[in-house]
Amino acid sequence: MSVENPRPGVPGDDVAAALLERFDSAVFHDSHGQAVVYLDRDDWRDAATFLRDEQEFTQCVDVTAVDHLVDDTRLVVDGVEPERFEIVANFLSHERVRRIRTITQVPADAPTVASLTEVFPGVNFAEREVQDLFGVVFEGHPDPSRLLMPDDWVGHPLRKDDPPSHVPVTFKEDPGPR
Amino acid sequence: MSDGARDTDATVTRDELHEVEDEFAREVAASEKREDARLLHQTDEADQEMGDRSMTEVVLTGGPWPDDDDTMIVNFGPQHPSTHGVLRVMVELDGERVLRVKPVIGYLHTGMEKTAEQLTYVQGGTNVTRMDYASPLSNELVYALAVERLLDLEVPERATWIRMLMAELNRMASHLLFQATNGLDLGALSMMLYGWREREMVLRFIEKVTGLRMNTNYIRPGGVAADLHDGWEDDALELCDLVETNLPDYEALLVENPIWLERMVGVGVLSTEEALSVNASGPILRSTGFGWDLRKAEPYLAYDEVDFDVVYAQNGDCFDRFRIRLYEIYESIKIVRQCVEKMPGGDYRADDLKVTPPPRARINESMEALIHHFKLFTEGFRVPAGETYVAIESPRGEIGCYIVSDGSGKPARLHIRGPSLNNLQAMEPMLKDTIIADAVAVISSVDPILGEVDR
Amino acid sequence: MPLDSIPHNFLTGRLEDLVRWARRHSVWPATFGLACCAIEMMAAGGAHYDIARYGMEVFRPSPRQADLMVVAGRLSQKMAPVLRQVYDQMVEPKWVISMGVCASTGGMFNNYALVQGVDQIVPVDVYVPGCPPHPETFLQGILTVHEQIRTGELLRRREERGGGAGIHIEETHVPA
């Protein structure tokens, strides 16, 4: 299944190889036997369209994000310029029974990425969740409102600089025997 | 005056009124012999009234009737008995017809993915198990599989089979819960009692094995928490027999029940294309004629060594979704029986002192074992930097676990791809252009567990 | 009419005892199932544990018809206003059971999303521990509520929490 590729990290996965062929920015990574392709932010939606139209991928099962603010020991793949946020999309092809994961880097000062809702409408909730909890804006999303937190909530709780607990633990006095 | 004229126009000219009256008179004349004295009397009176007035325009009072573009928005929940917890649904209605549906979620947002970043990998199981509380063992299983993939850890064969046994028992419990709540939602109240009766049997077995009825934290990275108890084979087989004997009651009560069929057949129809486009999975996808089951498609554990069928149906309506869950219980029973038959011997957790605790007896005599035990439950174990996504088939569909590790003892990010969250998106195509009375049937047939929708 | 001229036997007692007896035996819970504990609450309503033994199987969907609110599960910040509203809609006298550790203290989730104990929102009468509590634990909680109703005072609890219609009767001196 291996395909000739001039760049390092020759994928044994033909879908990943096709992505590398098509997009110059793509970098392949074998993550514990799973095919992962790191993409440039500009290719984000095009890659999804490519997977849907030319590789028979039927669902983008999940979109999520990772905040790498504090971990210095994070996994860095050769050829990828690490940024604070990573957006992760998992694709599934029911026809070919295949999965592939694409990851793109999103900087903290301009946290935007193209929305995949035009290509895979099912990522609607997943992208809203990421936008709600991480503050990464998906451009072109049909309903960019908060999904989980109240509408008047300030901040994005899953960011690493957002404190985990807003409520200090209070110990009340023992009411004594009743 | 016909109802049609009242429905649409707020103001009716006198000529139009006369037209309506003429038409009515013609209709009366047409039904020759049938003299409806009451109606004729009314017409006469109306004629009199109109005749006395000299206005050219008659204004009907009682507020303006809605125009065609006037719609109503009805709010369901979040505190509503048929929303399975705290789901809130906004429904836009034109009369009785549903135009748009918008689920509003987040009323059970627990911040579990944030909490997971403060818990070690050993403690993580207690967190994820509380997400989909109707099938906690699926959550633990997907989490454990993801952590093991990051560790490149092999678990013993017996652990794999115990996991499969428990996952299938949990699938039975979850589908029985669905039978109970689905009946409850649609007014078949006795189903609630029947569903719970069988579910209690399953939960009693789970309690005997794990110590808890729900939120068990039984499947842990490296294996399972404890071995099966003595005589578990008899318990499991007895359980299977009992449930199998009682399930035909469900079919007799519901599958052949004309009222039930009226409420379910042809309601909330979904096509395969729609289901795929809204990321539906599990019974909802299978009800559209698409036999996709991760246990068959991407076999994990030992599902390729057991014999079972993927249940799917063709119509994609509420009845099919109900039937699929009912017949999947039979398939789970089949798998449980094969687990009893083929359960291998050996250890129930990996023999890796860094990941799994040493046997209790060794702690008393070995200093090293004591240190390992102490380190494991205070600091946990370290996982090499990396990331992975593992998906399995939960009773509700594809549950996925995405873990990012930075090499420390706690995950840098833990994300659960909830099947219910994605299945909720299927409500819009299901409910579109149906009537509001079907909304409860459709919400119930999605079988959302809000704990995992909101996490 | 002298009492001994009545041709029946009868007992005398305080009205308060009668009212408490009646209240205790007709506690209708409001369904406020939130999370895992709601499943166990429903299990308590099933045939095996049978909450109907205490005359409590009538879970009312409408708070107006309920006397007891069972907060079953974790309460998020987004849900808290709803909980308070439902509680306010219930008529006096009313009782609250906080079921499970999440409802009681926030449980293992001390984070941004959860209210750390529903007693910050509504007054709680009984806390039922467990994660989730076993249905039998839940039944014990219900019996505790019954005991509180049986021994409690009728009017004081209402004034303590600012309930009632807010009518205050003041004794004023009326000159003769």
**Domain boundaries of chain A, sorted by first residue:** 14-139
Q: Cβ contact (<8 Å) for B126 and C40? A: no
Would you call C111 and B133 a contact, using CB atoms and an 8 Å cutoff?
Answer: no
Kindly provide the ipTM of the predicted complex, given to two decimals.
Answer: 0.87
| Contact at CB, C86 and B215, closer than 8 angstroms | no
Give the count of domains, chain C.
1
Number of Cβ within 10 Å of residue B28's Cβ equals 15
C103 part of a folded domain: yes
Q: Could you tell me how many CB contacts below 8 A there are between chain B and chain C?
A: 103
Residue C46 lies in a domain: yes
Give tens-digit pLDDT for B69-89: 677 888 887 777 666 778 888
Position B43 confidence tier, pLDDT thresholds 50, 70, 90: very low
Q: Smallest Cα–Cα separation from B288: which of B264, B324, B313? A: B313
Is B416's Cβ below 8 Å from some Cβ in A?
A: no
- The nearest CA of chain A is from the CA of C126 a distance in Å of 13
Question: Is the Cβ pair A120, B277 closer than 8 Å?
Answer: yes
Residues making up chain B, counted from first to last? 455
**Amino acid letter, B38:** R
> A100 — phi, psi (to 5°)?
-150, 150
C-alpha–C-alpha distance, residues B425 and B431, integer Å:
11
Nearest residue to B446 via CA among B430, A39, A145, B210: B430
Continuous segment of H or E residues that includes residue C89: helix C80-89
Evaluate whether the domain defined by B104-454 bears CATH number 3.10.20.740. no
User: The domain at A14-139 falls in which architecture?
Assistant: 2-Layer Sandwich (3.30)
Q: CA nearest C71: which of C83, C60, C62?
A: C83
| pLDDT values of chain A reduced to their tens digit, one per residue, 178 residues | 333 334 445 566 788 888 888 888 888 888 888 888 998 888 898 899 999 888 889 989 999 999 888 767 777 887 788 888 999 999 998 888 888 999 999 998 888 999 998 899 889 899 999 998 998 999 888 888 888 888 888 888 888 887 776 666 666 666 666 5
**DSSP codes of every residue in B29-79:** HHS-S---HHHHHHHHHHHHHHHH---SEEE--SSPPP-TT--EEEEE-SS
Backbone angles phi, psi at C72, to 5 degrees: -105, 95
B206 three-class SS: helix
DSSP C104-127: HH-TT--STTB-S-GGGTS--SEE
Query: Residue B148: its chain A contacts at CB < 8 A?
Result: none
Question: Which neighbouring-strand residues pair with B394?
Answer: B397
- pLDDT of B61 reads 52
* The two structure tokens encoding residue B238: 């007895």
Start-end ranges of CATH 1.10.645.10 in chain B?
Answer: 104-454
DSSP state of B255: I
Strands B88-94 and A137-139 come out as unpaired
User: C74 and chain B: CB distance < 8 Å anywhere?
Assistant: yes
Instruction: Kindly report which listed range (B192-206, C54-68, C95-109) carries the lowest average pLDDT score.
Output: C54-68
Q: Which of A132, A156, A165 has the most C C-beta neighbours within 10 Å, making it the best mutation to test the interface with C?
A: A165
**C109 and B112 in contact by Cβ < 8 A?**
yes
C176 located within any domain = no
> The domain spanning residue C64 has which CATH number?
3.40.50.12280
> Is B113 in contact with A75 (Cβ distance < 8 A)?
no
pLDDT in tens, B142-180: 999 999 999 988 899 999 999 999 999 999 999 999 998
**C6 located within any domain:** no
- Chain B residues whose CB is inside 8 A of the C87 CB are none
C contact residues 135-174, partner B, Cβ 8 Å cutoff: none
- CA of B59: how far to CAs of A2, B6, B20, B70, B244, in Å? 80, 11, 16, 20, 67
| CB-nearest partner of C111 from A148, A164, A170 | A164
Partner residue opposite B402 with nearest CB, options A58, A64, A71: A64
B79 forms bridges with which residues in the sheet?
A: none
